[in-house]
Each structure stands twice: as structure tokens, then as C-alpha cells.
């Protein structure tokens, strides 16, 4: 659980720019709403959601960390 909180904070603080997401977030903020484009994009607890899933910007290091974290858990059949 602690690892999940760390990952979520890293996602929130990621400085990697993704032009499409930046455009959508600006539209959402300009409109003063938290949902845009038929609920495809949302902002919730300072996270950008696309189709109800946390959107991870094009930060390859962060994406690899998330894959490694969730690929190597015992429930996935991997011991580390």
C-alpha cells in the first residue's frame, strides 16, 4: 500500500509533458468542470483520469517502475 501511495505522488509530480493531456487539462480547468469529453477525461484528487484509469504521462522511467512494481508481486506469480 505504501508503494502505491509513492507511485501516485510520483504521477502527480511528473514533469514530463504530454501535449494532448495538457490541452485536455487546460480545457477542463477553463470550463470549470472536472469531467470533459463525455467523461473520457477527468481530474480527481489532482490526478488525470482517462476512461476512469489514472493516466501516466510519457515518463518512461515512471512507467517502467509501475510495470516492475506490479509485475513482480507474488499474486502475479512472481516472487521478485
pLDDT for position 44: 82
Q: Where are the beta strands (DSSP E) in 12-66?
A: 35-36, 41-44, 47-50, 53-54
- From the list 43, 1, 2, 39, the residue with the least C-alpha distance to 22 is 43
Which H or E element spans position 36? strand 35-36
pLDDT for position 31: 77
pLDDT for position 73: 59
- Give the C-alpha distances (Å, rounded to integers) separating 5 from 2, 11, 51, 67: 5, 10, 21, 15
From first to last of its 80 residues, the chain has per-residue pLDDT tens of: 688 888 889 888 887 767 777 777 777 778 776 666 667 777 788 788 888 888 888 888 888 888 888 776 555 555 55
Amino acid at each position: 500500500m505504501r508503494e502505491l501511495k509513492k507511485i501516485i505522488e510520483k504521477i502527480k509530480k511528473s514533469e514530463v509533458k504530454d501535449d494532448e493531456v495538457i490541452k485536455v487539462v487546460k480545457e477542463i480547468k477553463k470550463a470549470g468542470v472536472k469531467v470533459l469529453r463525455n467523461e473520457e477525461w477527468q481530474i480527481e484528487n489532482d490526478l488525470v483520469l482517462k476512461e476512469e484509469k489514472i493516466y501516466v504521462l510519457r515518463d518512461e522511467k515512471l512507467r517502467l517502475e509501475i510495470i516492475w512494481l506490479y509485475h513482480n508481486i507474488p499474486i502475479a506469480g512472481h516472487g521478485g
